[in-house]
Structure 1
Amino acid sequence: MSRIRLGRWLVAVPMAALALATIYPLLFTANVAMKTRREYILDRFSLTNTLHWENITTAWNRAGMARYFLNSLIVVTCAVVLLLLIGSMAGFALSKLRFRGSSALFLVCLAALFIPFQVIMVPLARIMADVALIDTYPGLILAYVAQWLPFTVFLMTSYYRAVPAEIIDAARIDGNTVYGVYRRIMLPMGKPALLSVGILNALFCWNDVLISLLMMPSADHRTLMVGVTSLRGQYSDDIPTFAAGVLIAAVPVLVTYLFLQRQIADGVTAGATKG
């Protein structure tokens, strides 16, 4: 019995330390964001005496976080919709439709997962500049789709391979076309994987800095994470306002994890174990 308890403690203590190390930076940032500049200069580690909400207002309005937030919302929403649409279609085709080169195409998508963005960033920037897509919403959306489409195709293909072929055959006998099978059968059955990959892609796009910095050089089109990095230079003497900007950027990601962590885990597990 003592060995069982000792084993539990050996697992619980490191996990608690890891959780504390993860939560503390967020709590510290929230505490700093609620301080005045004077409070922060006098003691940066003490708990704030008052809730100075003006820092968040300043970061949201005067520092341009509202505009950056809107830019991120537009780009992430469009990119995720395209990723789910193209990824689910490709996953259905690669898993259930027999055509020449389907296996090779899947291997190409799988190999693309191992190519870092730093390898293709210069050619991508030159191509986007040639077609006048630098500093535009469509350019950044297409860059996000290209970057995370292999992951989406891989997950959807793995998930759809578990769908019994008899269901598709029955749907074809009932008179459904290939598109009808996709719309009436595959999309409803793929909701767990679609939800999972949609959330993950949204988090990937939302947290991205490198691609957005490359594709959106002007201040008006910055995404939220790039805007946060620029605040460090603008408000180097006003750390509470900078912390408020970081808090604004972190809250959507934190809320997503808190409320959708079960769906993320279930969807990824289903896509990884089926097929």
Structure 2
Amino acid sequence: MRRWSGWLMAVPMAALAVATVYPLLFTVNVAMKTRREYVLDRFSLAADPRWDNIATAWTGVGMARYFLNSAVVVGCSVALLLLIGSMAGFALSQLRFRGSTTLFLVCLAALFVPFQVIMVPLARILADAGLVDTYPGLVLAYVAQFLPFTVFLMTSYYRGVPTEIVDAARIDGNTPYGVYRRIMVPIGAPALLSVGILDALFCWNDVLIALLLMPSAGHRTVMVGVTSLRGQYSADIPTFAAGVLIAAVPVLVTYLFLQRQITDGVTAGSTKG
């Protein structure tokens, strides 16, 4: 009976693994083909694997520029999210002030508001401020979209810190900022790493916000650039597949080497406090 139960678990998991890995392997194989090879047989293995398509996508198509745009925007967005989110999490979890519970509930409610609901007023506000098609505008949009998630996880994590530690730091003469900088940031480093990875993945994989706020070709992020390749290179699928592969590499590397931290970040809110 135990043997059959093991098979009942293993077979669906194996099928899920194959369904997950196969599209990636198919994309890699197509990116290594010539156009002629793909037209003749799209499912066969590349007879002579070539890196020409990846080089073309990186330099000729402009994926290098899109990649740099995404790196700049994601780096600035994650830095702001972690700074504001950790400060807010410390204040909402350890400092007692009027309205703290209400403010936390507002942040929690904001998690359930889809971007489509706020995208028109957000775009209008950024347009009035002259921030459309600029890096700061996209960074602010990402911070506004993903800050509730960051605040929620950091608040949940910091609620697990004993209040005696904070009280002892205050008795030693630390201001609230000193407690945050000297105590809460080192203690919250694992949560900050996990939340930072998740925020980076959210920002990197975004298409809708970047497509709405960055209309010019020179400011496209990597995911918007991949979307545009689908129209420009619909007849050259290997080059399009190479662009998809370039965009997916950072995500794959992150999941491969930091999956433990990602799991910790997802479960932080349910295991702390």
What TM-score, normalized by structure 2, do the two folds share? 0.99
Shift of 1:5: 1.1
Q: What residue in structure 1 maps to residue 28 of structure 2?
A: 30
The 5 A counterparts of 1:121-160 are 121-160=119-158
User: 2:149 & 2:217 partners in 1: Cα distance?
Assistant: 30
User: 2:261 & 2:128 partners in 1: Cα distance?
Assistant: 41
Contact 2:153 2:268 (C-alpha < 8 Å) held by counterparts: no
Q: What residue in structure 1 maps to residue 12 of structure 2?
A: 14
AA matched with 2:260: R
State which drifts further: 108-117 or 261-270: 261-270
Shift of 1:267: 3.3
Q: What residue in structure 2 maps to residue 174 of structure 1?
A: 172
Q: What residue in structure 2 maps to residue 233 of structure 1?
A: 231
State which drifts further: 257-266 or 150-159: 257-266
Are positions 1:161 and 2:159 aligned together? Answer: yes
Q: Determine which of 47, 57, 65 is the counterpart of 2:63.
A: 65
Q: What residue in structure 1 maps to residue 114 of structure 2?
A: 116
> CA-to-partner distance for each residue in 1:36-64, whole Å, 9 max, x for gaps?
01100110000001111010000001100
The number of residue pairs the alignment matches comes to 273
Shift of 1:191: 1.0
Contact 2:152 2:269 (C-alpha < 8 Å) held by counterparts: no
Contact 1:193 1:268 (C-alpha < 8 Å) held by counterparts: no
Q: What residue in structure 1 maps to residue 183 of structure 2?
A: 185
Shift of 1:272: 2.0
AA matched with 2:254: T
AA matched with 2:249: V
Q: What residue in structure 2 maps to residue 86 of structure 1?
A: 84
- Over the matched positions of the two proteins, sequence identity in percent amounts to 82
Shift of 1:233: 1.0
Shift of 1:156: 0.2
What TM-score, normalized by structure 1, do the two folds share? 0.98
SS at match of 1:23: helix
Q: What residue in structure 2 maps to residue 250 of structure 1?
A: 248
Are positions 1:205 and 2:203 aligned together? Answer: yes
AA matched with 2:29: N
User: 2:194 & 2:160 partners in 1: Cα distance?
Assistant: 16
**Unpaired runs of 5+ in structure 2?**
none
Are positions 1:98 and 2:96 aligned together? Answer: yes
AA matched with 2:134: T
Structure 1 segments of 4 or more deviating over 6 A? none
Shift of 1:219: 0.3
User: 2:8 & 2:205 partners in 1: Cα distance?
Assistant: 33
User: 2:268 & 2:146 partners in 1: Cα distance?
Assistant: 19
User: 1:169 & 1:160 partners in 2: Cα distance?
Assistant: 14
User: 1:270 & 1:57 partners in 2: Cα distance?
Assistant: 41
Shift of 1:264: 1.3
State which drifts further: 258-267 or 111-120: 258-267
User: 1:154 & 1:265 partners in 2: Cα distance?
Assistant: 16
Contact 1:135 1:215 (C-alpha < 8 Å) held by counterparts: yes
AA matched with 1:136: T
Contact 1:212 1:223 (C-alpha < 8 Å) held by counterparts: yes
User: 1:209 & 1:129 partners in 2: Cα distance?
Assistant: 19
Contact 2:89 2:154 (C-alpha < 8 Å) held by counterparts: yes
User: 1:63 & 1:234 partners in 2: Cα distance?
Assistant: 10
RMSD over equivalenced CA pairs, Å: 0.7
> CA-to-partner distance for each residue in 1:212-253, whole Å, 9 max, x for gaps?
000100000000000001001111111000000000001110
> CA-to-partner distance for each residue in 1:169-202, whole Å, 9 max, x for gaps?
1111111111110001100110111111100000
